[in-house]
Amino acid sequence: MQFRFTLHRTDGSARRGTFHTPHGAVDTPAFMPVGTQAAVKALTIDQVRSTGAQMILGNTYHLALRPGEQVIRDMGGLHRFMGWDGPILTDSGGFQLYSLAQNTKVTEQEATFRSHIDGSLLALSPERAIAIQEALGSDVAMVLDHVIALPAADDVIRDACERTIRWAARCKAAATRSDQAQFAIIQGGLDPELRVWCTMQLAKLDFPGYAVGGLSVGESPDEMVRVLDVVCPAMPADKPRYLMGVGTPQDLLNAVRRGIDLFDCVMPTRNGRNALAFTDEGPLRLRNQVHQRDERPLEQSCPCLACRHSRAYLRHLFLADEMLGPILLTHHNLTYYQRLLADARQAIEQDRFVEYMEAKVLGWRNRTLTNGQSCKSPDQWSG
């Protein structure tokens, strides 16, 4: 069996497992850096690997537009094309139904996008989404789902949820590669009953993995947690569980506590490019005057490239508009996320995850930042 999920230990609902793929094993819970266009922004593949990343993510919609899936197939597949020999997950393009909604038309048959690059049309049906991902050669292909913005009317949420289930069945029927696993995506907005119903319907189709989608689209962190509280217990226990597009360090630990295994988010890379560093003291905004003569690294124990330098030097790089600044802070933030979840895995193995999480949250909320502000809200994780 090329794909297998082994659950080694639980601590409450938190899970420590291993997801086995043709390109290697992933220790879970795990964070996947986002490489939308076959590149993790600001970093080389070797730098991505040095953060501790085990698996990365690409995007079907963007890669189909450029360079085109046939180009990538002819170049030996996505792994060879980008030089990454570990597991790769590709999103189906469903998120772009939300993010590019003003340029998208959705029917029962397919979604039609008007390219954000040149205005050309791209028709993406469930079958086409799988064909593209098979040409890319990713280890995990996400089914095409219908993502909508929240809040939305009940009938709109239900319609998108039901379409997601029908499209998932079409994706599974379209599969031809035995070396690529499909993950289904649970929708249903913030309606707990609809979310559980969707989970049960998708479980009947017996996918190798399941994802919680349709979050980080306008809801609050508390609303997201309430969704996970009802969805996670309904998800198959013997399959990997993936929370799509989430989120802050606190979001990740909240989700791990409820049984999520895999994550991706642009937050560490996007904030790194904008001079915000994640630390155990909460976010550090490197453009602030307080760092001008600060000789300390971002964190004493961090092995990343940025922490070989002072905060003063990192601040200088951003104020001087040097490209090295975003590179170093991106490397730090991704390293921080990997350390966060590596320590979470160890805490689960030692039956102390709740204590680990509480200590982290206490540090983020109560420690005074170098600029005199306290991190009391998840909103302060953004730059």
Mean pLDDT of the chain: 93
Q: Please state the rounded mean pLDDT for residues 158-162.
A: 97
- Catalytic residue flag (residue 91): yes
Q: Please state the rounded mean pLDDT for residues 104-121.
A: 88
Catalytic residue among 11, 261, 264, 294: 264
Closest to 212 (Cα-Cα) out of 184, 190, 171: 184
Q: Cα–Cα distance between 368 and 284 in angstroms, integer?
A: 11
- The 3-state secondary structure of 31-68, one letter per residue: EECECCCCCCCCCCHHHHHHCCCCCEEEEHHHHHHCCC
Strand partners, 28: 17
Outline where DSSP puts E strands in the chain. Answer: 4-11, 14-21, 24-28, 30-32, 56-59, 88-91, 104-106, 111-114, 121-124, 140-142, 181-186, 209-212, 241-243, 262-264, 276-279, 282-285
Mean pLDDT is lowest, of 162-176, 284-298, 369-383, for 369-383
Query: What tens digit of pLDDT does each residue of 16-54 get?
Result: 999 999 999 999 999 999 999 999 999 999 999 999 999
Q: Cα–Cα distance between 193 and 182 in angstroms, integer?
A: 25
Q: Please state the rounded mean pLDDT for residues 127-153.
A: 95
State the pLDDT at residue 377.
40
Could you state, in order of their start, the residue ranges of all structural domains in the chain?
A: 20-265, 271-371
Closest to 240 (Cα-Cα) out of 42, 87, 346, 343: 87
Number of H helices, E strands in the chain: 14, 16
pLDDT-based confidence at residue 372 (cuts at 50, 70, 90): very low
State the pLDDT at residue 369.
38
> For the chain, what percent of residues have pLDDT higher than 70?
95
Q: Is the pLDDT of residue 371 over 80?
A: no
Mean pLDDT is lowest, of 89-98, 225-234, 264-273, for 89-98
Catalytic residue among 11, 91, 261, 294: 91
Does domain 20-265 bear CATH number 3.20.20.105? yes
Q: Higher-confidence residue: 382 or 254?
A: 254
